[in-house]
Amino acid sequence: MKFKKILAVLMTAGLLLTSFAACGGGASNSSGEGEGEASTEAEAEAEVAETISVGLVTDVGGVNDQSFNQSAWEGLQRFRADTGSKVSYIESKDESGYAPNIETFIDQGTNLIWGVGFMLGDAFAQAGLDNPDQQFALVDYAYAPEDIPNKNVTGVVFATEECSFLVGYVAGKMSETGKVGHINGIASSTMETFAVGYYAGVLTANPDVQIMGQYSNSFSDPAAGKNIANQYYADGVDIIFSAAGATGNGAIEAAKEQGKWAIGVDMDQNYIAPDNVLTSALKRVDNALYDVSTKMLNGTFEGGGTEMYNLKNDGVGYATTGDHIPADILAEVEAVKNDIIAGNLKVPATAAELEAQFPGKYDMPPVEEQ
């Protein structure tokens, strides 16, 4: 009986060996190619003089989320193409994955470790404390200096009120019914900047336009987004700006079904409904990653601060895909954009600033203070 078992184990081992031999055949070919690549890479490195390795830890969305994770990875790919640096990513499947994924990059000797999304805020702060010599950077998070005693975690934030202002300006100019809508995600001071910028843009374009806005209390509920959008359209709204992640996709769907306008967010969302997405408020996460990584490569990077990306340094913007914006309005928007960049036009970023500029117009619920 015992002998039988031993034999069975031996046979299994035999199977294992043959299978690995099979793999080995294929592998030796591809490893040969790998060496070839490595040598050309080495030559390239010699020309550039120096390269760095950059890692990206995504949040649960993953690098194909059609949102900021994807945008971040595109930025790093561009960085690799231009500088020959080594870039890689790890997708986090759930919250418990953040710390181990950061640790994996530390073990690999990665020079700069990126994170995307404010959900990683605590994990990056902790990693910064535990690894004083490692540089980190996190998109969408502004750290208080006392949280980062080692000055090695950089927060990257975006002036989203500026791009929201521009798309609001477009909406204010283009609304035929005199009513526009806004769908937001979950109330927070970060998300409020989208609403405030949009309201200010619409009212600057045309103070008589009526704006309806509300929080959908979710970033992931397209059905809710569609529901709200349908209500708005039934009330006579003809343009809706959603800043609510996947919830906004429902609003775009409603626009498509009803033949109305929708405005996208974060990335150029025109591809979802080419005839109905008027423009998109762009958050150029890719530019930010490219920029900070380049500074790291050139040795001009100072860790520990908060980097602000706005219209001036191409950190935010608006999309013109589909050419739905008439030339005269487009010229006006460009003029407004230049005014903001030049500092002649101050875009409000909080409800209080908006209230001072346009009293009694803002009807979104207040955000609780931290």
Partner 1 sequence: MRQTAEGSLRARLRSVWNDTFLYTLLSILIGLLAGSVILLVTGFNPIEAYGTLFGGVLGTGKTRMYAVQYAAPIIFTGLSVTFAFKTGLFNIGAEGQYIMGGLAALVVSVLMPLPAGLHGAVAVLAGGLAGAVWGAVAGLLKAYKGIHEVIVTIMLNWIAFYFSNFIVMTPMFKKPNSTASVEVSETARIYTDAFKEHFGSVHIHWGMLLAPVAVAFCWVILNKTTLGFRLRAVGFNRNAAEYGGINVGRSISLSMGISGMLAGLGGAVQVLGVVGRITQLAAQEGYGFDGISVSMIGGINPIGALFAGLFYGGMKYGGSKLNIIGAPSELVNVIIGVIIYSIAIMGAFRALVFFFRAKKEGRPL
- Which residues form the interface with partner 1 (CB under 8 A)? 4-5, 7-9, 11-12, 15-16, 19, 23-24, 26-27, 30-31, 34, 60, 88-97, 99-104, 107-108, 118-119, 126-127, 130, 186, 188-190, 217-220, 246, 367-370
Least CB distance from residue 361 to partner 1, whole Å?
24
Q: Where are the beta strands (DSSP E) in 227-351?
A: 239-243, 261-266, 277-283, 306-309, 316-318
Least CB distance from residue 139 to partner 1, whole Å?
15
Which residues partner with 158 through β-bridges? 309
Query: Which residue matches tokens 């283009």?
Result: 174
Which one, 40 or 370, has the nearer CB to partner 1?
A: 370
Which one, 99 or 212, has the nearer CB to partner 1?
A: 99
Which one, 13 or 356, has the nearer CB to partner 1?
A: 13
Q: Shortest CA distance to 251 belongs to which of 180, 191, 318, 327?
A: 180
Neighbours of 236 (CB within 10 A): 13
* Distant-in-sequence, close-in-space partners of 135: CB < 8 Å, separation ≥ 6: 111, 112, 113, 152, 154, 296, 301, 303
Which one, 13 or 335, has the nearer CB to partner 1?
A: 13
Least CB distance from residue 184 to partner 1, whole Å?
13
Q: From CA 71, how far away is CA 108, in angstroms rounded?
A: 24
Least CB distance from residue 322 to partner 1, whole Å?
29
Tokens of 113: 């470790």
Which one, 34 or 132, has the nearer CB to partner 1?
A: 34
Q: From CA 285, how far away is CA 41, in angstroms rounded?
A: 27
Neighbours of 320 (CB within 10 A): 16
* Furthest-apart CA atoms within the chain: distance in Å: 91
Which one, 26 or 359, has the nearer CB to partner 1?
A: 26
Least CB distance from residue 328 to partner 1, whole Å?
40
Least CB distance from residue 59 to partner 1, whole Å?
10
Least CB distance from residue 85 to partner 1, whole Å?
15
Which one, 15 or 46, has the nearer CB to partner 1?
A: 15
Q: From CA 241, how far away is CA 235, in angstroms rounded?
A: 15
Q: From CA 178, how far away is CA 112, in angstroms rounded?
A: 49
